[in-house]
Amino acid sequence: MNEPTQTSTQRRGRAWTAGMASVLAFGTVPVVAMFGLADGVSPSVLVTLRGLCAMVGIGLLCALTGRLRRIPLAAVVWLVVVCGPLHGLQVFAFFGSMQHGGAQTAIVVTHVYPILVIILVALRDRVPVSWRSCLLALAALSGLIMVALTGGATASLAAVGLALVCAMSYALYLVGSERWVHRIDTVVATGLVTTGSTLSIGAVALFQGGSFSLSAAAWQVTLLQGLVLLPVGVCGALYAVRGMGSVAMGLLGILEPVVGVVLAALVLHESLTPLQWAGGAVVLAACALAPWAASSRTRSHQHTGGKVREETPISSVSAQN
């Protein structure tokens, strides 16, 4: 194996690890957040306070390690003003969908976002995405429906609408951030996105007149999310997008609700049906094959002599200059 191949393999491995860390962190958030919400904390207040904690932690890390030097102004504006609010809208819409129609509706509808990522990338690059990626996305979504399926459940239009808003905003966030994560440090990008997200949700919390007075238990939940889960989730996702592309990361992200279901069973003592276990196995298999599916398009494009602008190592998702 030559040196470029080894470097590419190592890059893919790091991107895959970062993506899995992001999935585990974001999959844990709903279970942890339940303890804060059960204490009567408003979702917008909880998200704002955890974001402030994350901003402080990430800011100190960047300052102590010299990461704040020579950050392109365009990247700051785009990640704070565009990607940050999109990420915040995704979180806010997800909680709203849960309040109107329950967790099952929110999880199932929200996780159509990999399909939206594939469509957005195809429209942006004007190059069809690998049929293998499309097939895996459909298989993983089928497994996800099996995981969250409940007999006789009906969803309100508000719940479905908010979940679709969540899915679209997250898809736009993944695709939009891909242009800039190649140009600045991943930790800095995480801080900028977190800043934009926190400011936008904080404005909503103030508009709603939410109370920022929390109990000791709620503060523990907030600190755990803000200092650990949120930085790991956002930073891991941005690093994975940088190394894998938004399509592969989108497919991998379907694993998040499976993590949440398993943790709910272990921590909240919720039971899993055989159908849910089977669906989880389908999702796991589809996510494990995501890098193989995305890399097929890169090999095919290189073999035919096609050109994709600034192609990423695993998928052929381009970062337009």
Contacts (Cβ under 8 Å, ≥6 apart) of 99: 43
Q: What is the pLDDT of residue 39?
A: 73
Average pLDDT value for the chain: 76
* pLDDT classification of 155: cutoffs 50, 70, 90: low
pLDDT digits (tens, 9 = 90+) for 44-65: 888 899 889 989 888 888 888 8
Work out the end-to-end distance of the chain between its first and last CA atoms, rounded to an integer number of angstroms: 32
- Helices (runs of H) and strands (runs of E) counted in the chain: 14, 0
Q: What is the pLDDT of residue 315?
A: 31
User: Who has greater pLDDT, 315 or 245?
Assistant: 245
Q: What is the pLDDT of residue 318?
A: 28
Q: What is the pLDDT of residue 153?
A: 47
* pLDDT classification of 31: cutoffs 50, 70, 90: confident
Check if the beta carbon of residue 172 is closer than 8 Å to that of residue 86: yes
Q: What is the pTM of this model?
A: 0.70
Q: Count CB atoms within 10 A of the CB of residue 81.
A: 13
* pLDDT classification of 197: cutoffs 50, 70, 90: very high
User: Could you give the CA distance from residue 97 to residue 108 in angstroms, rounded to a whole number?
Assistant: 11
Alpha helix ranges (H) inside 65-130 = 73-77, 84-110, 113-125
